[in-house]
């Protein structure tokens, strides 16, 4: 059974490219445009990994991950945060919220696939 990845980013092009890349590698993809939208996607379905941007309208990535970690079905789901280089503070906030993995923007599709592969293989 293919592993399912939830992509949360307000940029449509990032969702599209990351989605294409990961689908190509054999993962199933669910996507959301911000934290609020992402919470609605956590409806009990199995999510093996979450990739989330930090700075988003409506609900930012950190608040989203904090909320997700309170849900029994998703409290152990690994999270890759999309961070900016140099923003150590943001990375630390993310880690404190439970997002222990990260990919630094800007990234290339192969880098994302590499980070995902470390956490789950398809």
Partner 1 sequence: MSLDLGEALQTFFAESRGLLQDMEESLLRLESESDDAESINAVFRAAHTIKGSSGMFGLDAIVAFTHKVENLLDQVRNGAVPLKEGMIGLLLACRDHIERLLDFAAAGEEMDADARTHGEALTAQLSQCLGKSATVPAEAVSPLESAGGRPMAGDTWHISLRFGQDVLKNGMDPLSFLRYLGTLGEICHLATLADALPAAAEMDPECCYLGFELCLKSDVDKARIEAVFEFVRDDCDLHILPPGSKQADYLRLIAALPEDNARLGELLVASGAMTARELEMILTAQESAGASQATQKPLGEILVERQIVQPELVNAALSKQKDARNRQAQEAKFIRVHADKLDHLINLVGELVISGAGVGLQAARNKDATLMESVSGMARLVEDIRDGAMRLRMVEIGETFNRFRRVVRDVSKEIGKDIELVIEGEGTELDKTVVDKIGDPLTHLMRNAMDHGIEPAELRASRGKPVKGTLKLNAYHESGGIVIEVSDDGGGLNRERILAKAREKGLIPDDGGNLSDAEVWKLIFEAGFSTAEQVSNLSGRGVGMDVVRRNIEALRGTVDIESHAGLGSIFRIRLPLTLAIIDGFLMGVGDGHYVVPLDMVQECLELDPARSEQRDYINLRGEVLPLLRVKEHFGLGGRAGRRENVVVVNSAGRKAGLVVDELKGEFQAVIKPLAAMFAKVRGVTGSTILGSGEVALVLEVPALLTEAARKLAA
Within 8 A by CB and 6+ apart from 48, the residues are 3, 4, 5, 77, 78, 120
Q: How far is the CB of 99 from partner 1 (least distance, A)?
A: 9
* 8 A C-beta contact, residue 79 and residue 50: yes
11 binds partner 1 (CB under 8 A): yes
Q: Which of 121, 64, 54 is nearest to 92 (CA)?
A: 54
Q: CB nearer to partner 1: give 28 or 78.
A: 78
Q: How far is the CB of 26 from partner 1 (least distance, A)?
A: 13
Tokens, residue 114: 């590499």
Contact residues toward partner 1 (CB under 8 A) are: 10-14, 16-18, 20-21, 24, 49, 54-55, 57-58, 60, 62-63, 75-79, 82, 84-90, 92-93, 95, 98, 100-102, 104-111, 113-115, 117-121
């Amino acid at each position: 059974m293919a592993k399912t990845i939830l992509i949360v980013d307000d940029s449509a092009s990032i969702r599209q490219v990351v989605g294409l890349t990961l689908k190509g590698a054999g993962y199933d993809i669910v996507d959301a445009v911000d934290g609020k939208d992402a919470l609605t996607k956590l409806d009990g379905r199995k999510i093996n990994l979450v990739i989330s941007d930090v700075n988003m309208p409506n609900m930012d990535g950190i608040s989203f991950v904090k909320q997700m970690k309170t849900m029994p079905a998703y409290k152990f789901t690994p999270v890759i945060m999309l961070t900016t280089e140099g923003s150590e503070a943001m990375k630390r906030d993310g880690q404190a919220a439970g997002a222990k993995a990260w990919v630094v923007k800007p990234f290339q599709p192969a880098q994302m696939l590499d980070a995902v592969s470390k956490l789950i293989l398809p």
